[in-house]
Amino acid sequence: MIISRTPYRISLFGGGTDYNKWYESNNGVVISTSINKYSYITIRKANNFFDYHSKIIWSVIEEVENNNQIKRPVIREVLKYYKYAQGLEIHHDGDLPARSGLGSSSSFTVGFLNSFHTLIKKKINKTNLTKEAIFVEQKLLKESVGIQDQIQVCFGGFNLIKINKNGNFDLIKFKNNNYLKKIKDHMLLFYTGISRNSSNIAGITINSISKKQNNLHRIMEIANEAKKLIDSESNITFLGELLDETWALKKDLHSNVSNSIINNAYDIAKKNGALGGKILGAGGGGHLLILAEPHNHKKIVSSLKRFTNIKFDLENEGTKIIYQSN
């Protein structure tokens, strides 16, 4: 039995510049952090005395006669790609709801690939694991996704991710841990309860890129400005202002990125002391991030009591195998 644990992530700056339609012409820059909320994948070879060939447990329970019948696309397509026909038992658990802007889809993909490679005794480093996860999501599943999530959840940490025009990337970990903790202590995370398909919204946003070049250029500039602020350990108020500007630019990419519920919640948070914030991920729902002075947290949480306040901490390990038996 193999168990992998892969974190979710919070994307702070540069989101949208990690779509290939953008970075292939302009490069990309993202600042993101992983958090101590996880996707867990348990995998083992199935015993042949059960009625099923493979059993997959996620939001549904699948018992199939062959692996091509598996409904969970990532699992089915990876096994097909590797021509793996043996029976498996796979169980997925997540700390937070899927389709909520925290990179849960890529967390599942990376975690499954990590556990699968461990099962078949194939060694793979994190760079190649990341590239394989991107290949699975973009090429095998043909999803409209960027590449920051796969990188971030694979490596973990609080990072600047530079994306080159050829799709290669450089990951630079911020190491001023006391300041990073200070940033985290200014963060509030709320689950709005609004689920959405990130690939669908991302697809709409990608199609808008050619019309919103100025937005993406400025979003990338802001990410570089935020790096300088973090490196110099500047007043976090300035980061809040950049986050606020990023959200305004992101909303302007397409009307599906936000809605009246999210806009109203953000306005309420600002009136109660928020420095800035944004909907995480592609937009349309999911989790709302707010940056505010800690003494204003209680007031903001009370004003947004219709949403669930999620407690979290930063995470620095990325995907890992936490249990392995013969």
Q: Express each pLDDT in 76-116 by its tens digit.
A: 999 999 999 999 999 999 999 888 899 999 999 999 999 99
Domain hosting 294: range is 177-313
What is the reported pLDDT for 237? 97
* pTM for the structure as a whole: 0.94
Identify the CATH number of the domain in which residue 265 sits: 3.30.70.890
User: What letter does residue 141 receive in the DSSP assignment?
Assistant: S
What is the reported pLDDT for 199? 55
Clarify whether residues 99 and 16 are in a common domain: yes
Element (H, E) at 218: helix 213-231
Clarify whether residues 159 and 210 are in a common domain: no
Clarify whether residues 242 and 97 are in a common domain: no
Low-confidence ranges of the chain (pLDDT < 70): 196-204
Clarify whether residues 305 and 320 are in a common domain: no
Residues recorded for the chain:
326
Clarify whether residues 136 and 99 are in a common domain: yes
Rounded to an integer, what distance in angstroms lies between the CA atom of residue 302 and that of residue 290? 13
Under DSSP, is residue 309 helix (H, G, I), strand (E, B) or coil? strand
Residues near 93 by beta carbon (within 8 Å), at least 6 away in sequence: 39, 40, 42
What is the reported pLDDT for 96? 93
